């Protein structure tokens, strides 16, 4: 069903219900008006009956008849007419009731339309009532516009209430219909929220309205395409990282094979030359300096080899502990001479959940973070943690109390290795959060938190 037909069907159904309600209200009003007119006619009949009874009534009953006539005059059931009854001297025995002031909504509408209340009571006719005792009473009927005015104002108020009720009911009906029609937007918005968080596995079910179902189908197709593209990009990223690691390993092997043996031979030659020039101080000094240069070059190459390639993840068929790999990496920085940084390392995960690829990524993240902190952060304390996070995820945390960064985006754009770290984490379907560590104003510190889905690592 299309949205236009859906809305029109709902609005038509509610309009029909409102129309039936308005018709029922009009019928009730008509019945009420008929009963009021019947009551007025009954009071007029009673009025003439009492006037006729005054002709032959004994003097003792006159007061009773007059009281009844006064009650009829005051009764709201008497409509359109008022009685004035006078004796021969012109004294009012029964006087018309004074008009009541219009208040509330009646008074408001009377002020808006003053012409409705302009007419004054008018006499319609007088006649004499000759009693048996020889006295004469004069009866006068006056038109009373007040009842008609009140009825007109009541009709206006009633019509206004009906219109307001109809408008309110229509507003509620339209709101309900539109809300029902737009209800499929909630799962659509929820799906969009999933896609904004790079969760392209979410799918929309079949929706009732044709337009919404078309949008849902388009979003499902878009999510499938984006998910496939993201998976392909992740595979490419993993392949690039693997190629990078292989190239590092190749360079490390060449450095070890080419320079290692050459440096060993150079150190041996320098030691031999030192022994042979024992009687020549100047030459021996040069030989000793050459030996020191070889030693420094050897240490530098060894450190470079450690950076290019970590210790192998497997020793034959046996896997080397990730805890030991990371612990040795932290310990190598702790043992460096001339530094006073306090290092802490915490490892609290099940290593069986970590694949070889993720283990290498965790090693590279820790290596890059330690290098950045030691070179640029001016930190005094560095913490590395690998723990179990929420939803069966693996959480890697790195924290220092150094100078920090201005913002994560600027840091990623200006290097510091954070872009490469984020790319590595993303390649494993993880998330990397970069934030300040809430230190002092001078040294706010830096905190890096990476989350990896432990179930995905097990599958791989």
Question: pLDDT of 26-78, one tens digit each?
Answer: 888 888 888 888 888 898 888 888 888 888 888 888 888 888 888 888 887 88
**Is the per-residue pLDDT at 417 higher than 90?**
no
Confidence of residue 396 (pLDDT cuts 50, 70, 90): very high
| Mean pLDDT along residues 83-106 | 77
> What is the pLDDT, as a whole number, of residue 51?
85
134, 148, 359: which is closest to 241 by C-alpha? 359
| Helix 356-372 vs helix 210-254: crossing angle, to nearest 10 | 70
Give 239-267 pLDDT, tens digit per residue: 887 777 777 777 877 777 677 778 778 88
User: C-alpha distances in angstroms, 407 versus 102, 371, 384, 404, 421?
Assistant: 73, 19, 21, 9, 16
User: Which residues, 6+ apart, have CB-to-CB distance to 85 below 8 Å?
Assistant: 51, 66, 69, 92, 93, 94, 137, 138, 139, 140
411, 401, 406: which is closest to 447 by C-alpha? 401
Give 290-336 pLDDT, tens digit per residue: 888 888 887 777 777 767 766 555 555 666 788 988 998 899 889 88
**Is the per-residue pLDDT at 458 higher than 60?**
no
User: Which residues, 6+ apart, have CB-to-CB distance to 251 below 8 Å?
Assistant: 308
- Token pair for 351: 């290593």
Tell me the pTM: 0.52
| Mean pLDDT along residues 166-181 | 79
Percent of the chain with pLDDT over 90: 8
362, 327, 330: which is closest to 457 by C-alpha? 362
């Amino acid at each position: 069903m299309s949205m236009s037909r859906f809305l029109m069907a709902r609005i038509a159904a509610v309009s029909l219900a409102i129309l039936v309600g308005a018709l029922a209200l009009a019928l009730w009003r008509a019945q009420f008006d008929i009963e009021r007119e019947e009551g007025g006619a009954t009071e007029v009949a009673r009025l003439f009956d009492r006037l006729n009874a005054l002709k032959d009534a004994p003097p003792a009953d006159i007061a009773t008849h007059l009281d009844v006539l006064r009650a009829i005059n005051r009764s709201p059931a008497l409509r359109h007419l008022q009685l004035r009854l006078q004796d021969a001297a012109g004294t009012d025995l029964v006087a018309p009731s004074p008009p009541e002031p219009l208040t509330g909504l009646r008074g408001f509408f009377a002020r808006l339309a003053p012409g409705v209340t302009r007419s004054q009571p008018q006499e319609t006719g007088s006649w004499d009532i000759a009693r048996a005792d020889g006295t004469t009473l004069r009866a006068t009927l006056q038109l009373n516009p007040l009842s008609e005015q009140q009825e007109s104002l009541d009709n206006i108020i009633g019509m206004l209430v009906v219109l307001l009720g109809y408008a309110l009911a229509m507003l509620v009906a339209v709101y309900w219909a539109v809300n029902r029609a737009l209800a499929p937007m909630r799962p659509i918005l929820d799906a969009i929220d999933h896609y904004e968080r790079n969760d392209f596995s979410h799918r929309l079910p079949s929706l009732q309205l044709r337009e919404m179902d078309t949008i849902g189908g388009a979003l499902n197709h878009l999510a499938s395409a984006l998910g496939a593209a993201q998976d392909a990009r992740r595979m490419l990223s993993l392949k690039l990282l693997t190629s990078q690691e292989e190239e590092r390993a190749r360079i490390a092997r060449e450095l070890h094979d080419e320079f290692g043996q050459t440096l060993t031979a150079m150190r041996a030659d320098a030691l031999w030359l030192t022994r042979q020039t024992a009687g020549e101080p100047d030459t021996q000094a040069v030989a000793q300096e050459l030996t020191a240069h070889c030693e420094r070059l050897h240490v530098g190459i060894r450190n470079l080899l450690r950076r290019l390639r970590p210790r192998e993840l497997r020793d034959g068929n046996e896997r080397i502990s990730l805890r030991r790999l990371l612990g040795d990496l932290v310990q190598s920085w702790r043992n460096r001479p001339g530094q006073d940084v306090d290092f802490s390392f915490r490892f609290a995960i099940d290593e069986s959940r970590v694949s070889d690829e993720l283990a290498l990524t965790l090693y590279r993240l820790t290596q890059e973070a330690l290098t950045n902190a030691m070179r640029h952060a001016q930190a005094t304390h560095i913490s590395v943690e690998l723990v179990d996070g929420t939803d069966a995820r693996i959480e890697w945390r790195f924290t220092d109390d150094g100078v920090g960064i201005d913002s994560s985006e600027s840091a990623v754009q200006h290097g510091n290795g954070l872009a490469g770290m984020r790319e590595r984490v993303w390649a494993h379907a993880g998330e990397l959060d970069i934030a300040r560590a809430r230190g002092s104003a001078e040294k706010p510190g830096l905190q890096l938190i990476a989350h990896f889905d432990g179930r995905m690592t097990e599958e791989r």
